[in-house]
Structure 1
Amino acid sequence: MRLKQSLASTIFDTINMIFMVFLIIIMLYPMVYVFSASISDNAMVAGGKVFLWPKSLTFAAYERIFGDKQLWVSYWNTIRFTVVHTVLTLLATSAMAYPLAKKWLPLRKTILLMAAFTMLFNGGLIPTFIVVKQLDLLNSIWAIVLPSLISTWHLFIMRTFFEALPEEIEDAATMDGCGSFQVLLRIVIPLSMPVMATIGLFTAVGQWNAFFDALIYLSDNTMYPLQIMIRNYLIAGLNPAQGEGDLQTMETVKYALIVVATLPILCVYPFLQKYFTQGSMIGGVKG
């Protein structure tokens, strides 16, 4: 009986390992291909001769995009949009989730139901655009940051995490003279780094890759984020700085831009992975 169980377990582990290796290959191949295409000759890429390894190695695409001033302007816009949005999202979400984690809060269930309602229904694109316009936020960083400042799903995850924290720690801080805001900043948030890192990573990645809000709220090209510049290359086939495409390097420039835009997130994720896993698990334990 044990021999059969051991054999079945070995077969399962082997099949599972083969499947996981196959899945890893599927996930890694697009990344390897994009990087190889970015440092290959444009004619080779356009002719479909690049499959895995670079052909006719050249860095002309990177030389071109790094020499484009619009790239650095877009990069700076993306960085500041992402940093400001992530920081304000964590502050606003924690400030709302903390009182909602307390059962003594008046109208707590009503507020939670109203928050949950926004997950199913919203005002729509046109009313949101009108509100942003009436508030005179167009062509500013606040048009990108404020409309999506708090995610209801992230709010519920953070509230659940706060509910799991020992109340005795907060009571001790209160007895030492800390107010509610001081308890949140000095006690709760430092103990909630896993969920903070998780929500921060989700928010940062979402904002880094976002382009639709910038597309509808920004008309000044000096405010464009990196994703708008990539869109102009990939879809319109235009150089945002010169207004025309260079057929000799256009294909490789597209792939080089994708590499440049993706690399920062790939570098940040490994440092937050342990918090990401822990925060996702703990935040979803309670209902």
Structure 2
Amino acid sequence: MVNRGSERYFDILIYCFLILIAVVAVFPLLYVFSVSLTPYSEVLRNGGFVVIPHKITFEAYRLLFGMESIPRAFGVTAFVTVVGTAVNLILSVLLAFPLSRKKLKGRGLFIFLIVFSMMFSGGLIPTYLVVKGTGILNTIWAMIIPGAVSTFNVLVAKTFFEGLPEELYESAHIDGAGEFTILTRIALPLSIPVLLTVGLFYMVGNWNVFFPAVFYVTDTDLNPLQVIVRGLLMSAESAESNVDATLPTNTLRMASVVVACLPVIAIYPFVQKHLTKGMLIGALKG
């Protein structure tokens, strides 16, 4: 017989632990957002630590969006995110669906090569030479093409496709449908949860693109938002070392972080349900 008292104490312990984890996760976000809205004089008066602002100002955001580089970087990042995610999904689906078909010749070899690439890579210099050799160096496509396919996301999508009833495919074949028709008319409409899951992973990666821009792009007009934010953080630290109290260095730094993170944070709640469902289905079926 279960001891209800012990069970209640265990539930209380679990809830306390979850609340602690939530506070640890939310507090840095609250701190960054609060400092970005606090007048710089108040930030200095409080030693840089502000959790709930007593006065609210958008001075840091006005300075931030007054810079010529920020709107341009937003445009570059938006293009990489939208076009890159579309390219990622198309290529991943076109790779995952054939691999899910057990009648594919050489299926085991292809899966082995894909998993092998997940554990071993060519390295930075060979990748740079490939990017240079393909002629996309110092173009916006250098931030999209080299990471167009994620092995992990392909395996998640493949596992989901394997879990779809084989009878659907057989019925479509009897009606004269080809593999591409089966993919577009049957498999994809049933794969919305896993497509949203994989798409979210790709979208976050594309929005936060940084290293490809640093390694493959030298044109400052093609710098994405994350590179610009990094430059702002470094310049803010340099300004603070000169003790220039007229420039809102700390608030400007926090405002840039908020601008870089807010779009993803705003989108996540709308796809969180599908994200959980897609991950469970893509991991357990098959």
Task: State whether TM-score is above 0.5.
Answer: yes
Shift of 1:267: 1.2
Q: 1:232–1:238: 8 Å Cα contact kept in structure 2?
A: no
Residue of structure 1 in register with 2:160 after alignment: 161
Shift of 1:234: 1.1
Residue of structure 2 in register with 1:128 after alignment: 127
Residue of structure 2 in register with 1:14 after alignment: 12
Shift of 1:216: 1.1
Residue of structure 2 in register with 1:242 after alignment: none
Separation of aligned partners in 1, 2:221 and 2:93: 32
Residue of structure 2 in register with 1:257 after alignment: 256
Separation of aligned partners in 2, 1:52 and 1:111: 52
Q: TM-score, normalised to structure 2's length?
A: 0.92
| 1:241-287: CA deviation from partner (whole Å, max 9, x where unpaired) | xxxx9951221111111111111111111111111001111111147
Q: 1:36–1:50: 8 Å Cα contact kept in structure 2?
A: no
Q: 1:139–1:219: 8 Å Cα contact kept in structure 2?
A: yes
| 1:11-30: CA deviation from partner (whole Å, max 9, x where unpaired) | 01111111111111111111
Separation of aligned partners in 1, 2:172 and 2:137: 43
Cα gap change, 1:107/1:10 in structure 2, threshold over 3 Å: closer, same or farther? same
Residue of structure 2 in register with 1:280 after alignment: 279
Residue of structure 1 in register with 2:172 after alignment: 173
Q: TM-score, normalised to structure 1's length?
A: 0.92
Separation of aligned partners in 2, 1:15 and 1:180: 53
One-letter amino acid of the structure 1 residue matched with residue 58 of structure 2: F
Where in structure 2 are the equivalents of 1:93-172 lying within 5 Å? 93-172=92-171
Q: 1:138–1:217: 8 Å Cα contact kept in structure 2?
A: yes
Q: 2:48–2:250: 8 Å Cα contact kept in structure 1?
A: no
Q: 2:33–2:255: 8 Å Cα contact kept in structure 1?
A: yes
Residue of structure 1 in register with 2:241 after alignment: none
Q: 1:101–1:163: 8 Å Cα contact kept in structure 2?
A: yes
Give the gaps of 5 or more residues in structure 2. Answer: 239-243
Q: Secondary structure at the match of 1:82?
A: helix
Q: 1:41–1:55: 8 Å Cα contact kept in structure 2?
A: no
One-letter amino acid of the structure 2 residue matched with residue 26 of structure 1: V
Q: How many residues align?
A: 280
Q: Secondary structure at the match of 1:147?
A: coil
Shift of 1:56: 4.0
Identify the match of residue 39 of structure 1 among 37, 44, 67. Answer: 37
Q: 2:136–2:142: 8 Å Cα contact kept in structure 1?
A: yes
Shift of 1:236: 4.1
Give the gaps of 5 or more residues in structure 1. Answer: 240-244
Q: 2:157–2:194: 8 Å Cα contact kept in structure 1?
A: yes
Cα gap change, 1:192/1:138 in structure 2, threshold over 3 Å: closer, same or farther? same
Q: 2:142–2:216: 8 Å Cα contact kept in structure 1?
A: yes
Q: 1:119–1:152: 8 Å Cα contact kept in structure 2?
A: yes
